[in-house]
């Protein structure tokens, strides 16, 4: 997950873009992953806006995402979000 452009207006909702290549699977699988991640991030934003700040975000999913359990996928999303918002690994 990558922050493309932080937004100075904290009241704006984050803007999400997804990069999910065809190698992940058919459209049904790719769309399911997008919906799952989008719903999870919406919940994160609702419960703790500081954890998912405003701005433009790019979420890139690899083919491994299609075979992961939902809990594992969302845990990975949480780890990436934490790294992006705290600056760890930059």
Instruction: Give me the CATH number covering residue 42.
Output: 3.30.230.10
pLDDT value at residue 25: 96
Kindly state whether residue 89 falls inside one of the protein's structural domains: no
pLDDT tens profile 53-90? 888 888 999 999 999 999 999 999 999 888 888 765 54
Is residue 15 very low, low, confident or very high in pLDDT (cuts 50, 70, 90)? confident
Kindly state whether residue 90 falls inside one of the protein's structural domains: no
pTM reported for the whole predicted model: 0.83
With residue 17 as reference, give the H or E element that holds it: strand 15-19
Domain encompassing residue 52: 2-84
Question: Per-residue pLDDT averaged across 9-18, rounded?
Answer: 82
Mean pLDDT of the chain: 86
Kindly state whether residue 65 falls inside one of the protein's structural domains: yes
- How many structural domains is the chain composed of? 1
pLDDT exceeding 90 applies to what percent of the chain? 54
Residue 9 gets which letter from DSSP? -
CB atoms closer than 10 angstroms to residue 67? 11
Residue 11 pLDDT > 80: no
Alpha-helical segments (H) within the chain: 27-47, 70-86
């Amino acid at each position: 997950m990558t922050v493309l452009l932080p937004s100075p207006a904290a009241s704006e909702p984050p803007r999400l873009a997804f990069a999910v290549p065809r190698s992940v699977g058919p459209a049904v699988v790719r769309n399911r992953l997008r919906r799952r991640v989008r719903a999870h991030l919406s919940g994160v934003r609702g419960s703790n806006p500081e954890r998912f700040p405003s701005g433009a975000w790019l979420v890139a999913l690899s083919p491994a995402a299609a075979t992961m359990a939902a809990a594992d996928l969302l845990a990975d999303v949480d780890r990436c979000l934490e790294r992006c918002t705290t600056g760890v690994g930059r």
